[in-house]
Structure 1
Amino acid sequence: MEGTDNGQTPIVKIRPEDASGSLRASLSSLAQNEGPQEVIIEAEPVKKKTVRGLHLPVRAFKSRENRDPNNVNEELKVQFDDIINEPEGFYTPKFSWHLSNELYGFGRACCYSVTTLFCGIPFSFIWGVIFAFLACLNVWVFAPCKRGHLINLSCISGFWATCVSALCDPFYRSIGLVFSNLRVRTEKFVV
Structure 2
Amino acid sequence: MSEPDIVDMAHRDPKDLNSHVQVLYEEVLGEPEGSHSIDGVWRCAFKCFSGSRDLCYRILSVLCAVPLAFCWGCEFAALSFYHIWCVTPFLKMYVININSCKVVYRACYSACCDPCFESCGRVFSDIRMTKINA
Q: Which residue of 2 aligns with 1:117?
A: 62
Q: Which residue of 2 aligns with 1:52?
A: 6
Larger Rg: 1
Q: Tell me the C-alpha RMSD between the 2 structures.
A: 3.0
Shift of 1:133: 1.3
Q: Which residue of 1 aligns with 2:84?
A: 139
Q: Which residue of 2 aligns with 1:152?
A: 97
**Structure 1 alignment gaps of length 5 or more:** 1-50, 55-60, 184-191
Shift of 1:143: 1.0
Q: Which residue of 2 aligns with 1:83?
A: 28
Amino acid at match of 2:92: R
Q: More deviation in 142-151 or 95-104? A: 95-104
More strand by share: 1
CA distance in 2, matches of 1:163, 1:140: 35
Q: TM-score, normalised by structure 2?
A: 0.72
Q: More deviation in 87-96 or 155-164? A: 155-164
The size of the alignment, in residue pairs, is 121
The share of aligned pairs that are identical, in percent, is 26
**Structure 2 alignment gaps of length 5 or more:** 130-134
CA distance in 2, matches of 1:78, 1:173: 72
Higher relative contact order (CA 8 A, sep 6+): 2
CA distance in 2, matches of 1:108, 1:159: 65
CA distance in 1, matches of 2:21, 2:63: 20
